[in-house]
Structure 1
């Protein structure tokens, strides 16, 4: 990194011609902006170059900081907007050392099943709906999470509820879906009790997968303080 900075700053080159040629080719991927080194990439904007100790601090903040979701290696790299050598390997090793990620790791128990074709012509027309709970009793007697997922964009909306009643669902759909995204065409639900384990989810498991992701993020962020889950729900989303 120092060699690249020196070359871009004042044209400092190694004595060896072969090393100089190699350095010039490598520097074509980098640029200086206000004294900071950035690396050009194909699919993303400029990524800021960091030294290893700075990279460690960034991974710590992104992974389990105030808005951290304990994302895994590849997701952790994609959300940062930074670059350093061996970035993917370092991110994977960092996640492997996170005790909460290891303790709450996924365990696949549901058998494979056939998918059902669901055609959605435009965003926010078809929504899958499901309940998550019962959760630990929290402030205002919140005990349930109502989760809806758009079939087209996979956008998730969720809200803590005290009771899984029809009136609460109607209020949520009006305020959070209709008033934000317009009148929807179809709502898909398994039409089962919220206590049941769904064997054949009608939305190919989209709402159930969203439930699982939200629950995993809440577990990792809360650890022992589980009654604070309504406060952490917006961050998890």
Structure 2
């Protein structure tokens, strides 16, 4: 129940000491169609307004001195009952449009703007459209700026309307310089339960080499996830950073404590923005492989070793080399290559040190080539991604709105298409990076995050139109428009 609603209470006695109460709410007429301001209220407000008092006093003085008038107030006049009007030249010849506009005192300006913007008859139009409607009937100094500011700060418009202009957020590439420096992980599923009892696929990817480790799992919990990671790290080394999403098994105490003990910095991607986790792209490729090689859906985990081999031996477009080359310094042998292998003796290394020297050189050449290719790929990807985007950053303390991601629910009579697109306001609590922030709810004080910049937009607080601005700019009487085409007494109408 709000102050904008009428409500009806009906009670029925269900039994001894039991009363059922039904409350029916209905939107008030003022909220639906706008509050009506009477002529008497307008006259009283003009008499109490400083600007209207100065104009009225000037008209009273100049009308008694041989019809002379102050040019500053030449377009103003008083109606027969003392209401202050102003002559506004019309650009068209519409006979239904009057050239005389009522001057609105500062105290009532917000009420008039609200009437022509918030009501169902106004439809929460844009600032310029609201001004076009309002300027047909009333006027005041600085009205256009006031209307535009009000429409921009309207909470309903800010939450319901999409953000205009170019989408924010420039690409911030994650840079890794060596194998298994940064590790990414994600979970696919649930899939149909396989004969081996598996329903999920845990995927671990090295950010530099693009090497993939696949672990089919029966169920998901932090301990099983960490056991898979430990197997990977025991083979390839412990990374300095681990990237995952915000799933509960990645944020549990077991997982967080394990990362802290091993000196691994755990980074989590923003909800609905998994671009920072390259495993998301790996998952897409794996899903295509699963579709191509799985006839019975329950056998989805039967060919995972072969799929992992396929990813290890495929040249990556960003590095220019296969994951196997970057991890082992050589390609993995295919069955076909073994069948076609020459029977003639191959050159043998005379010592392990010679083999190590050659392997070290191949690794060095491969790393240099991969780094150069990755630099070129990052530049191309950034240029392509940043086209049509803008750099938007917030500072700690800024008021923002957060994008909603509602889901329709027929049982509650709720449809996502009619829900607000934004919620809030929130206050920026911490700037994690140029793209991610933590927020503090203004009503509850609870912290939330990380939130990506594309899911945020600046919130404009509403201003108080009842007080004169400090600089007095909006109270200045503007230049008079051209006088009416026929010279007649405008002082009284």
The TM-score bracket by the shorter chain reads: 0.3 to 0.5
The structure having more radius of gyration, on CA atoms, is: 2
Q: TM-score, normalised by structure 2?
A: 0.23
Structure number with the higher helix fraction is 1
TM normalised by structure 1 equals 0.47
